Amino acid sequence: MASLAAEAGRSAGPTAPGEGPLVSPSVLELIGNTPLVEIQRVRDGVAPGVRLFGKIEGFNPGGSVKDRPALKMIQEGIRQGRLVPGKTILDSTSGNTGIALAMIGAALDYPVELVMPANVSRERKQMVAAFGARAIFSDPLEGSDGAIRRCREVLAADPERYFKPDQYNNEANPLAHYETTGPEIWRQTEGRVTHFVAGIGTGGTIMGTGRFLKSKNPDLKVIAAEPEDAFHGLEGLKHMASSIVPGIYHEDELDLKLGIATDEAYDMVYRLGREEALLVGQSCGAAYVAALRVARTLREGTIVVLFADFGDRYLSTNLWLGWLRQG
C-alpha cells in the first residue's frame, strides 16, 4: 500500500500519466474508480498501527457516490425493457441520486423528473436544473420520507409515462456497490482493509460494499453511521428508527451502527477541510466521526471510510454558516 499514502513518513508525490490523458466516449464511463486518500492529521489519539483512508466519491462525474447505483438502475431498466424511448425517469431523492439521474438522463437522452424536499440545498437544485431535469418539491418538514410519498402520488397519476428506478427498493442499488465500490477498496488496500464505515441513506452503499468485502474476509467489520435522532441536519442520511426503512436495507448485516450528532459531524467537516484539505459534505463528517470512535478501540487495522461527496454542494446551507461563524 505504499503507493496509496505515506509509509514511514514518506509521502507519494503526484505522477504524470504514462500514455497521455484519459479519453472517454461518454461521461458515464468515468463513473467509479475513485481514489483513496490516507487521513494523516485528524487521528485524535488513534494508535500508530491503525490506518484511516477516505474513499473520495466526489470524484465521480456527478459529484457523488450515487452515480454508481443510478447508472446500474438505469442500465437494468433498459435491459429489462422497463425503460424505453418515450418514458420519463422519475424518482424521489434528497439530492445526490437526483443529480446522478439527471446527468445520466441527459447523457442517454431521457427526460427526468425528481421529487425532492423543498429545503434541499440551493446548489443541488441548480445542478439538477443544469442537467435539464424537472424538480417537483415536497414538504420540507417531511424530509426524504415526504419525497417518497409525493413520488408515489406522481407515479400513480400516470404510471405509463414513467420509469421509476426506486432507489430505496431496487436491488440494482446495492449490486452496483458489490460490483464496483467493494472490489475497488479491496484492490486499493491490497486486501488489508479490516473495517468499512459509511453513512446510511438508502442503505445501498453499505449493504453492497459490505457484502463484497465480507465475501473476501468474513472477519471484516461493517459499521454504519446515522443521525442520532429524527431531528437532524445531516442531509442525505436517515435515522432508521423514525423513517420509512428502505427495502434494500438489512440491519442484521451490520456489525455496528453508531448515532452521530449533527454538531459533531459539522465540526468534523470543518476539521477535515482545515487539517486534511478535504472539503466534504456533512454525511462524510458523520461517517468519519464513527470511524474515529471505532479506530480508538483498536491497536492495529485498516479502516476505509466512504466520503460520499464534496462539500461544495452545501455552501448555502447551515453547514457552512457554522464554518463562517468559526472563521
Which residues participate in catalysis according to the annotation? 66, 283
Helices (H) and strands (E) in the chain, counts: 10, 10
By CB neighbour count within 10 A (0-12 exposed, 13-18 middle, 19+ buried), where does 246 fall? buried
DSSP 8-state code for residue 178:
I
- In three-state secondary structure terms, 169 is coil
The set of residues, in sequence order, having a beta carbon less than 8 Å from that of 11 and lying 6+ positions away, is 5
68, three cell numbers:
454508481
The set of residues, in sequence order, having a beta carbon less than 8 Å from that of 58 and lying 6+ positions away, is 34, 64, 280, 307, 308, 309, 310
- For the chain, what is the radius of gyration of the CA atoms? 19
315, three cell numbers:
455552501
* CA distance between the termini of the chain: 36
On whether the CB atoms of residues 237 and 262 are closer than 8 A, the answer is no
**Alpha-carbon dihedral of residues 235, 327, 38, 223, nearest 10 degrees?**
-30
DSSP 8-state code for residue 222:
E
User: d(Cα 203, Cα 324) in Å, to the nearest integer?
Assistant: 32
Tell me the C-alpha to C-alpha distance, in Å, between residue 162 and each of 82, 87, 187.
Answer: 9, 5, 38
User: d(Cα 31, Cα 127) in Å, to the nearest integer?
Assistant: 17
